[in-house]
Amino acid sequence: MELILNNITKSFENKRVLKNINFKFTKGNIYALLGRNGAGKTTLFNILAEELKSDDGNAYITIDGNREELTSTDLSYVYSNPILPEFLTGYEFIKFFIDINKDKLNNSLSIDDYFEVIKINKEDSHKLIRSYSHGMKNKIQMLMFVITRPPIILLDEPLTSLDVVVALEIKRLLRKIRKDHIIIFSTHILQLAKDLCDEIAILNDGKLTLMEKELLKYPDFEDQVIDMLKEKEDYA
C-alpha cells in the first residue's frame, strides 16, 4: 500500500506554502512530518483530508496494485486540538461512532474493550467529554482510528501537550498498529520524531524531502536537521 502525492501545490494570497510536492509514503512505517511552525504541515493534512482544496495536484492511494484518488474515507485525521461532542459521555460518543460505521467494521470488540485499549477506566468512560483532560480527549480521537482501521492515519501534533504517561501509551499504540497502516505524524519536536518514527520527511520552503535513515545515527544529526529547516524567504 502506498500514498502518492503528485504535484500538490497551495498558495495563500501571494505566499506559496506548498510547492509542487511529489512524495511517496509506504505501508508499515510511521513517518515524521517535520517542519517549523507555519511550514505548511497542517495545510498538507487538510488537503489530504479534503478539508482544504489544493491549487494543483492530486493524492492517490495504491492498494494491491489498484491506484485510486485519495478520499477522506481512506484516512483518519487526529487534530492537535480535539474536536468532539462535549455534551456526550465518552461511552455515548464511541457507541454512536460504532453505530454509524458498523457497515465497515470487521472486529468484535465491545465498547468496554475499546476503552481498555486506550486505558480509560469504566467510570471515566461514562463521564461527559467536556470534563475530560486534553490527554483523555486525544485518546478518544485515537480510539476512532483503532475502531475503523483506515489505511492512512494523520496525526497533527497530538502529543505536544500530553503528560508523559499518556504520551507513552499513545506511542505504544502507534507502534503496535503500524504494520497495517501508513501513519504520518506531524511535529516540530525533533526528539519526538527521532524516538517514534521510522522515517523523517522534512517540510521546508514548501518542499517535502525524505531524510536519509543513516543520518539518524550521526552524532550531529540534530545540527543537520536544523540546517535543513533554516527559514528561507519566499518571494514567489
User: Quick check: is 206 in a domain?
Assistant: yes
User: Quick check: is 216 in a domain?
Assistant: yes
What is the structure's pLDDT at 235?
Answer: 36
**What number of CA atoms fall less than 13 Å from residue 81's CA on the CB side?**
1
User: Quick check: is 144 in a domain?
Assistant: no
User: Quick check: is 128 in a domain?
Assistant: no
What is the structure's pLDDT at 10?
Answer: 97
Range of the domain at 27: 2-82+150-228
Task: Give the chain's end-to-end CA distance (angstroms, integer).
Answer: 35
Q: Which set of grid coordinates corresponds to residue 146?
A: 483503532
Q: Which helix (H) or strand (E) holds 208?
A: strand 207-210
Q: Are 49 and 56 in contact (CB under 8 A)?
A: no
User: Quick check: is 8 in a domain?
Assistant: yes
What is the structure's pLDDT at 231?
Answer: 53
HEC per residue, 134-168: HHHHHHHHHHHHHHHCCCEEEEECCCCCCCHHHHH
Average pLDDT over the chain reads 87
How many folded domains does the chain comprise?
Answer: 1
Residue 232 has pLDDT above 70, yes or no: no
| pLDDT tens figures, 41-96 | 999 999 999 999 999 999 999 998 899 999 999 999 988 888 899 999 999 999 99
User: Quick check: is 159 in a domain?
Assistant: yes
User: Quick check: is 98 in a domain?
Assistant: no
| pLDDT tens figures, 11-55 | 998 889 999 999 999 999 999 998 888 889 999 999 999 999 999
What is the structure's pLDDT at 215?
Answer: 66
What is the arithmetic mean of pLDDT over 187-193? 78
Percentage of the residues of the chain whose pLDDT score is greater than 70 = 90
Q: Picking from 76-90, 94-108, 141-155, 209-223, which range would have the lowest pLDDT averaged per residue?
A: 209-223
User: Quick check: is 163 in a domain?
Assistant: yes
Q: Which set of grid coordinates corresponds to residue 23?
A: 512524495
Rg (CA), the chain: 18
CATH number, domain containing residue 32: 3.40.50.300
Q: Encode 139-158: b = buried (16+ Cβ within 10 Å), e = exposed.
A: bbbbbbbbbbebbbbbbbbb
What is the structure's pLDDT at 233?
Answer: 43
What is the arithmetic mean of pLDDT over 185-203? 84
